[in-house]
Structure 1
Amino acid sequence: MGRIQSSVGLVTGTDIVGTVDQLIAISAQPRDRLIASTELLANKQAAIAELTASVIGVQLAGNRLASSTLFKSKTSTSSNSDALSVKSGSAAQVGTHVVRTLQTASTHNTTSLQRFSATDTALGFTGQLSINHGESLIDDSVALSSLNNGRGVEAGVVRITDRSGKSAEIDFSGARDMDDVITLINDADINVRATTSGNSLKLIDNTGSTNSNLIVEQLGDAETAADLGIWGIDVASSTVTGLELDLPDGTESVRGAALSELGGGSGVGPLTNLDITLSDGSSASIDLSSATTTSEVIDAISESGLSLTVRLNDARNGFQIRDVSGGSGTFTIDAADDTASQLGLTASTTDDIVVGENLNRQNVTRDTLLEDLNGGLGVNIGSFTIKDSKGVLGAINLKTAGAKNVGELIDKINALSANVTASISENGDGISIVDNAGGSGKLTIANSGTSTTASDLNIAGTATNQTIGGQTKSAIVGTSADVIEVTADDTLESLVSKINADGRYGTASIQTNDDGSFSLRIRSQRGGEAGKLAINTTGFSLDLRTESRGADALIAVSTDGGTERYVSSSDGVFDLGTDGQESSLINGSTPLASLKGGKGISLGSFKITDSRGKTSAVNLRVEEITTVGQLTAAINDLGIGVTASINADGTGISVVDTAGGSETLTIEDVGLGRSAADLGIAGEATTQTIGGESVSALVGPADGDVTDSATGISLTLKELSTDPITITVKDDPTVVSNATKTFVDQYNKLIDKLDSLTYYNAEAQEVGLLFGSSEANRIRDSYSRLLSGTITQAGDLKSLGSVGIRFNSEGQLEFDAEKFGDAMSEDSAAVEAFFTTSETGLSARLDSVADRIAGVSNSLLIGRTETLATQITQNNSRIEALNERLESERERLLKQFYSTEEAISKIQGNSSYLSQIERITIDS
């Protein structure tokens, strides 16, 4: 039967819906009382939550006062913050540092002087472009700070008197390396030339006079002359050689590359005479027989008396001689033997510049660690196969072979069943593998699986005919250089793409010049000294010139009047430890290029798979990630079950699995990259204890030689200053004073919250949500007893009043900053103990009270919150049941009313029909 849709009875005129609503409202009174009760419970629950937050606020403020670091806070100032800014950590020592700014950091940047009218037109070049790391350069000059077993050279003034009797006082305080020493002496107003002989300074008097001895005198108390090996010189001779200097391990010469390192390690020499004829017809035969370094070769040529300039070529791996005589003849460089060819300088040209060939300084030896190859980028610790020309197969697995250096790897290869011979390449920058089998096939070397080991060693591929030891052999010759094959079809755009395809050492771009032309630009991947590049072209010339050479920032620091020391940085940020010495700790702003002892992190990609098998990846180059903070943020944004952060020691990053799955968190490098390996996080996670919890994680560090775990001062060099800059570090009691004031404020906020929730207004008959609450009373009583009582077993101070904290008449705390400052001045250790003593100090007691009141388990407020939540859940269930019952009752009443209306309608219809029946009359 369909329901009558009108809310008013059509027959009786009764307001059916209104009547039912009133009847239901009467029946709903128990439910409405329950709803009101539930709303009150919810409001009390919210009030308890507010109280919990206020208690935690007090707890956190108290916990901060538990840190002894807080009481050791320092403030630091720079006398010239525009040039050198400073930040100090808690472990910085109070003192004064005098800093001389010697050199700002720079990144190696090279641009072609040759310009092009378009970027998409074929260049017509055929040959190779090679990019190598700085270890192949021959422009070394030993840092003074590394001499004398690391003691360095003390800054000071030395007087040198030539044999005419003329003297010059030379200040070496600005000298950083041996080249600076040579320049300062040679630029002095005396006729004495400085050079080096072996590992000693050599002074040559050019006066031709005998009026005086050649004399070296130390002025003041410094030991500069002694540290340079020229102290006490007083000779009746035009030439004198100082004492041999102690060089750091791995350094062969004080200035320039040793000639024995050139030619791939086979050496250059013995040299005899170099014959040079300039375009004006002037000539000289220059005796190079005593030269032992590239710098000594340059010095000897410079002293020839010819109108020429000599220096290293722009790639810094060979020489360059320029004829400035202005003649119109032929410029020739030759020798009666192979001296000129060994130096890469044989020439006969009408040009005025001769650019020498790459002298192939050896940068790979048997002792070179595999992790130091490729300019410190290292190689993948994986496996590769070697198949000789007869098809005999051998395999090397670096994980199991135990080879740590190049020599051990060579020995492992030579022990294989494949008939090959491995050795250091003739260029001294990689491994050469020669096929001895004489088969019909070709020697091939291939990576195994996802390994990139052979590619990283630059030996993956098929053998070609090579000239080795003067003979043609089928071989694969590895190199540390990034070699780009250039064809005639290459455009500027495609050349840039080829360079960037590897991008191991540098990245290329197109530079638009002022005249609308275009040039090739190559920029190092790393900043500072470690990012130096050697760039050469074979078969064509781009006339590449260095705009900025990779250089570390350098400062000289003297602490509290102590001995000055040199500190370098690849990016201009100097982190000094507690004693002013350099620290290797990292933070969010630490550049990835400064990790691994300044060698930097490979800018590749790596894949992370969490314990539930969910995988994602980070690509440092594509995502332009350059700092530790950007890297951890990128990992945390992957959307998989991992969390990345700087590890507890501040030495690297940690990646913690948070997925909670049954598999193992793994991180692996992708392609040719080794970013994860460089960061020390490649592999499978292990169980680690981090933050007191046992977790599955992979933890760095990025640096294996970090020793300083304290944060000292951080200096940022922005520009050079002509005057020394004073850095002052002082104790900063305002930090702990402000922290104490914060605790007082947090406590007062808690009291305000308690007052707002427990008030009673007799006039208005209003009460707070928690009026009469036992929880509120217990909170007030717990804190009152603690803060007004005696604090024992926490040093000499026993009460809050002794550190300037007291209760006012309204039950809130007041902080007397002056009294607190006096207490710190009188006995800062006692104030520190009052707050920080474990278990019995004020902070520990505050923490204990807060845990009882609002701790995670079995605490007062959490228990009350759970009880309220249970009551609210139960009430909501009852309300839902009552709503269902009321809805059923409403349906029943409506049905009854509509049924009644229908019945009445029928009765009325029947009455109408009856009234229409006429009486039948029967005639008699």
Structure 2
Amino acid sequence: MSGITSTGLISGIDTASLVDQLIAVESKPLTLVQNRVAVLQSQKAAFLEINSKILALQSAATKIGDNQTYKTKAVTSSNESVLTASASNSAAVGSYTFTVDRLVSTHQLISGGFADPDTTPLGAGTLTFESARARLTDDPRLARLNGGEGVQRGTIRITDRSGASSDIDLTRAANLSDVVTAINNTSGINVTASIDGDHLTLTDNTGSTSTNLAVSEVGITNTAADLGILGNSSGTNTLTGAAINYIGEDTALATLNDGNGIRHLDTSASDFSITLNGSSFEVSLQNATSLGDVIDAINNHASNPGVTAAVAADGVSLELTGTGNITVAALNSSKAAADLGIEGSATNTLSGERLIASLGSRLIKNLNGGTGVATPGTIDITNRAGATTTIDLSAATSIDDVINTINDAGAGVTASLNSAGNGLKITDNTGSIASNLIIADNSGTSAADLGIATDPAGVDEKTYTGANLNLRYINETTRLDTLNEGNGVASGKFTITDSAGVSSEVDLSQGDEVTIQDVINEINSRPTSVVATINDTGDGILLTDTAGGSARLTVTESGSTTARDLGLLGEDEDDDGVINGSFEKTIDVEATDTLEDIVEKINDGSVGATASIINDGSGVNAYRLNITSTHSGAAGQFIFDDGGVGIDTTTLVTGSDAVVLYGSSDPTQALLLTSSTNTLSNTISGVTIDLKGASESPVQISITNNNATVTSAAEAFVDAFNTVLDSLDKYDKYDSDTETKGLLLGDSTVATTRSRLFNIVLSKVDGVGGQYKYLTQVGIKIGEDARLEIDTEKFNAALANDPAGVLELFTSTSSTTETDVDLPDGVTIPGTSEKTLVNVGFGKILKQLTENLTNSVDGLLTNKSNSLDTQIELGNDRAEQLNELLGLKRARLEAQFAAMESALATLQTQQSALSSLSSLASTSS
């Protein structure tokens, strides 16, 4: 501490320098204390460095002691241009064979040409986008046919009536359309395959009668038989196959009713009652998943008085038989009996309704959102020549029945599906214009409910396009994970606010929400005046406000996309108390909108598709609208209806799934897999397969234990261990040449740390059951310069010869009770009356040791650091005290010198006075 001083004005003494020198002599104790504090601080920094190195060793020990390190997998592909794969630790070691038949494709439409993209308006109307599940056609999987027993894939031989034969490979066919396409595209024969009702039909087109049209098997498969076409045409040009579209006890309930399934209760409550001659019993289908489960629930019921359930002779419906009057009635609001087609009464035999549509078609009862045709009956069609034909549609159960019945009636018209595939179209074939085309109901409501009834005056057109028939494809049993083209619904919450302002949160994050019914139940359980049901068009949830308030019904998200995924996000736009979560999306086109405007509206409309403009370079009407699904695969197929805008489209690419054969190089024995993306995620547990290209030959994926990961972990442990030793040696050394001591030379904590580390790597690892009990046995030892070394060749050999033994050496655990367990170098596991997991593998013991060294509460290095902190604090306190004493001494010296100068000044004044008196005396004399 210093004050303000100066050279003595009287004495001429440099008092400032003199005081500083005196204080410097007095400061030696302070300097010693400060130097000691600096050393202590350097030592603490050194221990912090050592601590950080040991923490790095702890990380290395954790990895080599972790079972998961030994479970990592290496994956190789025999042809990476076809497929690659990655595997998690849970994947099973082995070889797997795949043949990629085709990659996924994305649905794409292209329009006719337009003169310009941005000038000419197209006209007003409404564009409609909807999932292809709303289409009135179906492409059944082969596995669904023959009552769920499917079709064995193989090769068939077809011989036409000229005697020409061709082999047709159906080993990679997934759907019935694959079969039809393969036959129709086969060269060398002149045969056409088609779907007719519940069977296939082959037609010979050669005009020859040399032999029969015949189909035979190639090899040992039953493909032709399973397709119902094995045999010959018996002298005709047509081979009519046997029925392959029928139900059986193995038929999954979820596949019935066009995939709408059976709406049975998910509780133990009864779904329906069956009464025979006054004796009743109740049936619950809570756990039923197949048609056989339903039949068993009825036939094996303990109270059954004599009713027998079975698949009817037609193969497409159920039948209940008994002696007397049979009545089936719904219970507890269940719709199971209605969906099974058996609700009602009959005597002796109760014949159910059809449960599956004809091949490639849809059931009429699912039209109009599930109301179907209210009163089936007859219709009158007046063609443009003026001739009227009455056609009976009362027996039609599938859309194909309607089309075929009209086309076979000789009415001068052709019935077909419209371009969107969601309604019917009637085309006049007479070539006359004498009359309008008129379609009306004669009896019943078939024409009206099938959307083909014209105005009474008819239409002055050759073709009449019927209304969208709103096929029901969403109901209470629909799984949430099938919505949004298979992307499902986000697990989350949303808030509903009714018109009275009452809000409530709907929680769909609880993990038990599987179906639409679960969503409806959750919404209806909330304390708002809002009721959730299936909408009238059978394509979403309908929210209806019953509060009668003045505000709008609204739905908002609560941190997720759940409401949006359900189509419910937003508010009641029409102020009618309704939010319709229809998955049919519409876009309004104004009369002034150009092609570019329409593209922008589609891309902003969240319709499941994107649009762009293509210039085909033709020069005239070169601009085309290209519409592409946002989702790949068959699930990404969509219906597009231009609503009269004039955008006529054709399918450029049909969205189809990737097809892969798995498990055998023989395609007839392999399992056929499909995927809506070029990634297979669930085929092999823990393995993700990325498809890159198609191949004729199989590709093998090999999954092995990734020993390189283990070796790398061992090398990292050795490096981390040696880094700790380097840090210890850096501070605990003596250089005899320079006689320089390390900062921590002789420190007991350093010595203890080093000793424990060396002891643990040299000690036997007790408690392990394998052959390896020392690190040296797997190639890890103390080598030159007292450093740990790893012989990777020996380590890898140990891994290869006995991987379980290496795993045991590093990761083993056991349990103990009551008594303490002492492990090397102060590692102790206290015993308890309960079983305690004890780390006995080297990696786990080393980790425990490093934790004991670095524990932030009572670790050895922590205690040392705390001790140094205490010493540093004491040193700083002592230095502060010495500084205060030196300050006092400086002040005292400065005061003393100041007093001396003052005294000298007084003496000087007195001397001057005496000198003056002496001068006066001399003058006087």
SS of corresponding position for 1:538: coil
Indicate which of 783, 793, 796 corresponds to 2:767: 793
- State the Cα distance separating 1:543 from its structure 2 match: 4.6
Q: Give the letter for the 2:764 counterpart.
A: T
2:337 is matched with none
The corresponding residue for 1:184 is 182
Residue 446 of structure 1 is matched in structure 2 by 553
Instruction: Count matched residues.
Output: 760
Of residues 746, 766, 772, the one that matches 1:772 is 746
Q: Does the residue aligned with 2:98 lie in a helix, a strand or coil?
A: strand
Question: Does structure 2 retain, via aligned residues, the 8 Å contact 1:122–1:488?
Answer: no
What is the letter of the counterpart of residue 480 of structure 1?
F
Q: Distance in 1 between matches of 2:519 and 2:737?
A: 93
Aligned-residue sequence identity (percent) comes to: 31
Give the corresponding residue for 1:751: 725
Describe the shift of the 1:205–1:852 C-alpha distance in structure 2 as closer, same or farther (beyond 3 A): same
2:863 and 2:670 map into 1 onto residues whose CA distance is 63
Once residues 96 and 178 of structure 1 are traced to their aligned partners in structure 2, the CA distance between those partners, rounded to angstroms, is: 31
Match of 1:460 in 2: 572
| 1:4-23 superposed matches below 5 A | 8=7, 13-23=12-22
Q: Under a length normalisation based on structure 2, what TM-score does the superposition of the two structures give? A: 0.66
Give 1:258 shift.
0.9
Q: In the alignment, residue 553 of structure 2 is paired with which amino acid?
A: A
- Amino acid corresponding to residue 748 of structure 1 in structure 2: N
- Is residue 315–residue 533 contact of structure 1 (8 Å, CA) maintained in 2? no
Report the more deviating stretch, 212-221 or 289-298: 289-298
Measured against aligned partners, the alpha-carbon deviations of 1:440-497 in whole angstroms (never above 9, x if no partner) come to: x999972389897998188835567xxxxxxxxx998763323344445667787677
Deviation at 1:317, TM superposition (A): 3.8
1:71 is paired with a residue whose SS is helix
Alignment of 1:398-409 (within 5 A): none
Q: Shift of the alpha carbon at 1:39? A: 2.0
Query: SS at 1:75's partner residue?
Result: strand
For residues 475 and 848 of structure 1, what CA distance do their matches in structure 2 show?
A: 64
Aligned to 2:584: 481
Q: Which residue is 1:361 aligned to?
A: 471
The 3 A distance-change label for structure 1 pair 57 and 69 is same
Deviations 1:761-808 (A, max 9, x none): 233222222221222222232233332232232123222232222322
Match of 1:157? 155
Q: CA-atom RMSD, angstroms?
A: 5.7
Classify 1:809/1:923 alpha carbon distance in 2 versus 1 (closer, same or farther; 3 Å).
closer
Tell me the CA shift for residue 194 of structure 1: 1.9
Residue 691 (structure 1) aligns with: none
Secondary structure, aligned partner of 2:240: strand
8 Å contact from structure 2 (residues 499, 545) kept in 1? no
Matched to 1:39, the amino acid is A
Asked if residue 845 in structure 1 is aligned to residue 845 in structure 2, the reply is yes
Q: CA deviation at 1:560?
A: 7.9
Residue of structure 2 in register with 1:806 after alignment: 781
Structure 2 distance, partners of 1:541, 1:380, is 41
Distance in 2 separating the partners of 1:786 and 1:912: 90
Tell me which of 558, 565, 585 is aligned to 2:671. Answer: 565
Q: Which residue of 2 aligns with 1:43?
A: 42
Could you list the per-position Cα deviations for residues 61-80 of structure 1 after superposition, in whole angstroms to 9, with x for gaps in the alignment?
Answer: 23323333433443222233
Aligned residue for 2:721, secondary structure, equals: helix
Aligned to 2:681, which of 572, 575, 597? 575
Q: Of 781, 790, 805, which residue of structure 1 is paired with 2:755?
A: 781
Shift in Å, 1:275: 10
AA aligned to 1:157 is T
Q: Which amino acid is the alignment partner of residue 826 of structure 1?
A: N
Q: d(CA) in 2 for partners of 1:299 and 1:753?
A: 90
- Report the CA distance between 1:129 and its aligned residue: 3.3
Are 1:93 and 2:203 counterparts?
no
Report the equivalent of 2:920: 919
Letter in 1 for 2:869: A
The CA distance in 1 between the partners of 2:606 and 2:416, in whole Å, is: 28
Length-normalised TM-score, structure 1: 0.66
Distance 2:433 2:910 in 1: 139
Distance 1:530 1:913 in 2: 123
Alpha-carbon distance in 2 for matches of 1:781, 1:413? 67
Asked if 2 retains the 8 angstrom alpha-carbon contact of 1:54 and 1:750, the reply is yes
- Distance in 1 between the 2:178 and 2:802 partners? 51
SS in 1 for 2:48: helix
Indicate the residue corresponding to 2:23 in structure 1: 24
Corresponding position: 1:217 with 2:212: no
Shift in alpha-carbon separation, 1:168–1:225, aligned structure 2, 3 A: same
Cα displacement (A) at 1:187: 1.1
Distance in structure 2 (CA, Å) of the matches to 1:288 and 1:196: 21
Cα deviations across residues 207-255 of structure 1 (Å, max 9, x unaligned)? 4555444433332344544554545678655232234256763335586
Larger deviation, residues 417-426 vs 180-189:
417-426
Residue 362 of structure 2 corresponds to which residue in structure 1? 258
Q: Secondary structure at the match of 1:772?
A: coil
Query: Deviations 1:495-533 (Å, cap 9, x if unpaired)?
Result: 6776677x5544767758699999877665555444444
Map of 2:792 onto structure 1: 817
- The superposition leaves residues 701-751 of structure 1 with CA deviations (integer Å, 9 ceiling, x where unpaired) of xxxxxxxxxx2x222223444544332333433332332232222222222
Measure, in 1, the Cα distance between the counterparts of 2:210 and 2:392.
29
For 1:552 and 1:840, the matched residues in 2 are separated by: 51
Q: Any idea what SS the aligned residue of 1:142 has?
A: coil
Query: Would the alpha carbon gap of residues 559 and 309 (structure 1) be closer, same or farther in structure 2, given more than 3 Å must change?
Result: farther
Q: For 2:433 and 2:76, locate their aligned partners in 1 and report how far apart those are by CA, in whole Å.
A: 62
CA–CA distance in structure 1, aligned partners of residues 228 and 882 of structure 2: 101
1:183 Cα offset (Å): 0.2
* Secondary structure of the structure 2 residue equivalent to 1:726: strand
Which position in structure 1 is the counterpart of 2:805? 830
Task: Measure the CA separation in 2 of the matches of 1:852 and 1:434.
Answer: 65
* 1:396 and 1:413 in contact (8 A); partners too: no
- Aligned 1:904-915 pairs, distance under 5 A: none
Is this contact kept in 2: 1:28–1:886, CA < 8 A? yes
The Cα offsets for residues 424-449 of structure 1, whole Å up to 9 and x where unpaired, read as 65533356799999xxx999972389
What whole-Å deviation, never above 9, does each CA across 1:137-169 have from its counterpart, x for those lacking one? 445423446667887655432222234432211
Name 2:56's counterpart in structure 1.
57
List aligned pairs for 1:385-400, cutoff 5 A. Answer: 385=498
Determine if contact 1:133/1:505 at 8 Å carries over to the other structure.
Answer: no
Amino acid at match of 1:447: T
Q: Which blocks of at least 5 consecutive residues in structure 2 are unaligned?
A: 260-355, 814-838
User: 2:109–2:652: 8 Å Cα contact kept in structure 1?
Assistant: yes
The one-character-per-residue Cα deviations of 1:96-150 (angstroms, maximum 9, x if unpaired) are 333222343455566766769686x895854433333443244542344666788
Conservation of the 8 A alpha-carbon contact between 1:200 and 1:241? yes
Equivalence map 1:301-380=2 (5 Å) = 315=420, 317=422, 342=450, 358-368=468-478, 376-377=488-489
Q: Per the alignment, in what secondary structure is the counterpart of residue 701 of structure 2?
A: strand
Deviations 1:1-47 (A, max 9, x none): xx998855566554454444333333332222222212222222222
Contiguous gaps of at least 5 residues in structure 1: 279-284, 388-392, 465-473, 584-710
CA distance in 2, matches of 1:21, 1:493: 90
Alpha-carbon separation, structure 2, partners of 1:162 and 1:145: 28
